[in-house]
Chain A
Amino acid sequence: MIRFDHVSKRYPGGKEALTNVNFELDQSEMVFLTGHSGAGKSTLMKLIIMMERPSQGQVFVQGVNLNRLGRRHIPDIRRNVGVVFQNHQLLFDRSVFDNVALPLTISGYQPREIGRRVRAALSKVGLADKEKHYPVTLSGGEQQRVGIARAVVNKPPLLLADEPTGNLDPGLSEEIMNLFQQFNQVGVAVMIASHDLVLVKAMGHRQIILSGGRLET
């Protein structure tokens, strides 16, 4: 599903965020990406959805070498990867429904199909009754779940989450993690960046540990 082949990323200014990273994520696998903040977790995820390009090495997503894809094809990759952001990245002038519908709208789905899928995704994350609300009226945990609904609404084969429980209390964090696990159980490959080591350990999946931009083995 994902393969990093000797990937390094150096930002302009000389800071090396990733150094010679090699790993693979299988289809339907769930993996945690851990490490201190600044260890390169976010950079690694940005490389997968082409928010950044590697300085060296190659990134493959579903067998496609991202180095070979032009700017024009970035949307194609992003439509196949559901991403949950730590800061949610919701549109605050639109309802929950419209936020979740966004990936379908940009792909040109019919309104009826959009309605069906959005409601299914919202009920999956337990927000079926909040579709007409605006994100500001929701709690942090609820906003995060809107973000998750948006990430899964077009049924991507790969789900990325960057610190999805960063600002949540332990009870809510576990709920969110269980949600990811449910998606994984139906065949979605999941990669979660988290520094909540206790929770990660409790979940019991493979860990990829980053330290100073390098993989720990």
Chain B
Amino acid sequence: MSQDKGKAASKADTRGSIGAKSGGTKTAGASTHSLQGVDYLRSYFANHRLVAKQTIQNLVRSFVTSTMTWMVIGVALGLPAMLFILLDNLEGLGGDWQGKPGISVYLQADVSEREGRLLAKTLGSEPEFIAARYISAAQALEEFKQHSGFDEVLNSLPGNPLPAVIDIEPDDVSTIELKMSVQRLEEKAAVESVSIDLAWIERLIALVTLGERFVLALAIFLGLGVLLSIGNTIRLAIENRRAEIEIIKLVGATDRFVRRPFLYLGFWYGVGGALFAWLMVQGSLLFLSAPIEDLIYSYRGEFTVKGMGLEDSALLFLTGAGLGIVGAGLAVGRHLHEIEPT
């Protein structure tokens, strides 16, 4: 060891830097690291990489314990994620069916079949409607008989209680457009009344909105749970490494240096938890998709259950990582100051 030269140089360094400190410079952090500028940044990031690697390695080494923590976080993150995805699918369902709300125009009893067909033809040629089909009173009765099974009751009636109907498939399916069309149709002399099957869509949307609020509240509660459980895990980790923390503080580690591994620990707990949540959600959706699709098919038609897309997945992982870091930060902020070498 070239003691002489090194000693002289380091003496000059240190005196300079401590002197600067006492002058109250706030940016002196770098100068006392004995490293400057680019070197300092490089070593700073190198330390981040190293700490990130070491913490994940330690977690993998104690795999069973880590996995249990990851799964707890995974369940807490996965449940709201799952519900959000299901709601998203439900909304998609509304969107799909919104494309096919029929407008039923009930005609006055005194409108003849010829007049009715003519009206249907006129309506069908209008730009806002794609198609219009005339159903005579007799046809309507026949269809009703077939679907309802009230054959005998209907047969026992003296006449046909049903009016003739024009079924219209509208082009624009937005609620406002539909309502305007309905209004216009109702003004026609031949029209008795008009109905659209919008009500259930509105109800579905209201229900989904309610569901979203509910899931959001649930997500906030569970997120708080994740925060606390990560915080508690980190608190234990800090407790376990108390001796080590005291020693590195003794040889001059900054608070940031001491804090770093614990923040990374929280980060990895969050990311690992998000991974478990992701697997659970995707697995469950895979498991549920076939029966859901069958169910939808029995009602109306094609439907594919959407899993988590890239955006949803990214959001899940960001949430996990964020909660991990914040939870660790809370624990570290509370407990690290208590540990001082004695």
- Footprint of B on A, CB under 8 Å? 49, 51, 61-65, 68-69, 72-80, 83, 85, 89-91, 93, 102-103, 105-110, 120-121, 123-124, 150, 154-157, 183, 186-188
Q: Which residues of A contact B39 (CB under 8 A)?
A: 110
A64–B7 CB distance below 8 A: no
Q: Which residues of B contact A102 (CB under 8 A)?
A: 247-248, 251
Docked complex Cα distance between A77 and B252 (Å)? 7
Assuming the contacts A91-B247, A157-B7, asked whether A109 and B21 have C-beta atoms less than 8 A apart, the reply is no
Assuming the contacts A77-B18, A108-B47, asked whether A157 and B252 have C-beta atoms less than 8 A apart, the reply is no
Residues of B221-266 contacting chain A, CB below 8 A: 243-244, 246-255, 257
Report which of A68, A154, A155 forms a contact with B22, defined as CB distance below 8 A. A68
A73–B21 CB distance below 8 A: yes
Assuming the contacts A65-B22, A120-B1, A157-B14, asked whether A49 and B7 have C-beta atoms less than 8 A apart, the reply is no
B340 interface contact, C-beta 8 A: yes
Assuming the contacts A73-B21, A76-B32, asked whether A154 and B247 have C-beta atoms less than 8 A apart, the reply is no
A187–B11 CB distance below 8 A: yes
B8 interface contact, C-beta 8 A: yes
Q: Which residues of A contact B33 (CB under 8 A)?
A: 107-108
Q: Which residues of B contact A77 (CB under 8 A)?
A: 18, 252
B1–A63 CB distance below 8 A: no
Report which of B35, B251, B342 forms a contact with A78, defined as CB distance below 8 A. B251
Q: Which residues of A contact B44 (CB under 8 A)?
A: 108
Report which of A75, A85, A90 forms a contact with B252, defined as CB distance below 8 A. A75
B334 interface contact, C-beta 8 A: no
Closest beta carbon of chain A to B334's beta carbon, Å: 16
B7–A155 CB distance below 8 A: yes
Assuming the contacts A76-B21, A156-B14, A188-B7, asked whether A106 and B247 have C-beta atoms less than 8 A apart, the reply is no
Q: Which residues of A contact B34 (CB under 8 A)?
A: 107, 109, 154
Interface size on B, residues (CB 8 A): 43
Docked complex Cα distance between A154 and B10 (Å)? 8
Docked complex Cα distance between A79 and B253 (Å)? 8
B252–A155 CB distance below 8 A: no
Assuming the contacts A68-B22, A89-B247, A154-B10, asked whether A75 and B253 have C-beta atoms less than 8 A apart, the reply is yes
Docked complex Cα distance between A68 and B43 (Å)? 30
Residue of A nearest to B14 (CB): A80
B40 interface contact, C-beta 8 A: yes
Q: Which residues of B contact A123 (CB under 8 A)?
A: 1
A76–B1 CB distance below 8 A: no
25 contacts between A and B (CB under 8 A): A51-B250, A51-B341, A62-B14, A63-B19, A65-B22, A73-B21, A75-B252, A76-B21, A78-B249, A79-B251, A80-B18, A83-B251, A85-B250, A91-B243, A93-B244, A106-B251, A106-B253, A107-B34, A110-B43, A124-B1, A154-B34, A157-B7, A157-B14, A186-B3, A187-B4
B291 interface contact, C-beta 8 A: no
Docked complex Cα distance between A169 and B246 (Å)? 28
Max chain B C-beta neighbours (<10 A), residue from A69, A73, A124: A73
